Structure 1
Amino acid sequence: MRKEDKAIIIEKLGEKLKEYAHFYLVDVTGLNAETTSALRRKCFKSEVKMVVVKNNLLHKALEQSETDFTPLYDTLKGTTAVFFCNTANVPAKLIKEEGKATGIPALKAAYAEEEIYVGAENLDALVAIKSKNEVIAEVVALLQSPAKNVISALQSGSQTIHGVLKTLGERPE
């Protein structure tokens, strides 16, 4: 590969690092063309951009980034694919789902929610990260709960009061 081509690839990787908020480094050693193609389709459906990269070129792109990715450098061995995304837990769920049967793909490291995770043991923690929409939905549900309880109590209270008054009214004197 020519030096100019390498520079272009490094520049494009740098742009992707800036464009996407999160990325995962995944070991795809042992995937054949058919399995890789199926994985790419699943990534596309999940709005995850999968790019198989040369480790040295990714290393240089990470070095040129404004963020310190030093802990990730040791994971750049073997066949590496980068999963770029804007929702932190989507690639983790995809990796966990796909890796159940064969162990491929395996998580090498991840940069999610401005935090670096190194090692496959962090996969469950990454799956548990809630997206912005999930957090908003939980907050809305928590805010609605007390209001629903008050309304329910008021409605049942009016039924009770109405029943007591009706019973008292029907009672012979």
Structure 2
Amino acid sequence: MSKYVKELVTRDLKRRFDGVSDAVLVSYTGMDANTTNELRGELSEKNIQMMVVKNSLARRATEGSSLSPAFDDTRGQVAVMWGADDFVSLVKEVVRLDKDSEKYEEFTATGGVMDGERLDSEGVKAISKWPSREEQVSMLVGQILSPGANLSGALLGPGRTLNSQIKSKGEGDES
């Protein structure tokens, strides 16, 4: 590849990675074209982008960015995945595809980068066990609403007890 072409590809990669701060690296060497297209279709439904890059060009394109550590010790050709609603959702999807050994045997998560720190394959699997953004929001809403629900129960409980006693006393007088 000539120096001019490398510069063009590097510039294009910089443009594509603009605004991407977290990504997962995967290897899918040996996967046939039909399976790859099916994989890309599944990913696009979840707003996940996947791009195959040559490591040396990706290193040049991400130099000085938060994605740079992801390409430090990689060799050969890898696919970079980014997108989804949040990084944890992306990692959960990658790990799910990695475990789906029947359909995507050659697909394996090799690492990634989160908040400028390099992740190995074990780090990616550990992050997949974290709650996603939606789960975190629902837990937070539950924590915010629980004191009010407890207070409401504490205030209404004695009133209900008194109401039932008055009602039973009133029914007892009629007989």
TM-score class, shorter: 0.7 to 0.9
Amino acid at match of 1:10: T
Rate the CA distance shift 1:69–1:12 in 2: closer, same or farther, 3 A.
same
> Equivalents in 2 of 1:85, 1:68: separation in Å?
14
Distance 2:2 2:160 in 1: 82
Partner of 1:12: 12
Taking a change above 3 Å as real, the CA distance of residues 129 and 66 of structure 1, as seen in their structure-2 partners, is same
Q: So what's the TM-score if we normalise by structure 2?
A: 0.81
Distance 2:113 2:158 in 1: 53
Equivalent residue for 1:127? 128
Q: How does 1:144-159 map to 2 (within 5 A)?
A: 144-159=145-160
Alignment of 1:9-158 (within 5 A): 9-63=9-63, 65-67=64-66, 69-70=68-69, 72-75=71-74, 77-85=75-83, 87-100=86-99, 101=101, 103-118=105-120, 120-158=121-159
Shift, 1:114, TM fit = 4.0
The AA in structure 2 aligned to 1:52 is V
The secondary structure found in structure 2 opposite 1:66 is: coil
Could you list the runs of 5+ residues in structure 1 that have no partner in the other structure? none
Deviates more, 1:7-16 or 1:47-56: 7-16
Change (3 A) 1:31 1:165: same
Contact 2:22 2:66 in 1 (8 A): no
Q: 1:167 to 1:130 in 2, by over 3 A?
A: closer
Counterpart CA distance in 2 for 1:114 and 1:143 is: 32
The structure with the greater share of residues assigned to helix is: 1
How many corresponding residue pairs? 169
State whether residues 27 and 78 of structure 1, in contact with CA within 8 Å, keep that contact through their aligned partners in structure 2: no
Assess if the C-alpha contact under 8 Å between 2:111 and 2:124 holds in 1. Answer: no
Residues of 2 paired with 1:159 and 1:68: CA distance?
Answer: 60
- Determine the C-alpha separation between the residues in 1 that align with 2:9 and 2:26: 19
Aligned-pair CA distance for 1:32: 1.1
In 2, the alpha carbon distance for the partners of 1:7 and 1:90 equals 33
Give, in whole Å, the separation in 1 of the partners of 2:149 and 2:53: 52
RMSD: 2.4
Cα displacement (A) at 1:103: 4.6
**CA positional deviation for 1:168:** 4.5
- What TM-score, normalized to structure 1? 0.82
Distance in 1, matches of 2:20 and 2:69, equals: 19
DSSP-derived class of the 2:82 partner: strand
List runs of 5+ in structure 2 lacking aligned partners: none
Deviation (angstroms), 1:143:
0.8
In 2, Cα distance between equivalents of 1:123 and 1:66: 20
Sequence identity (%): 25
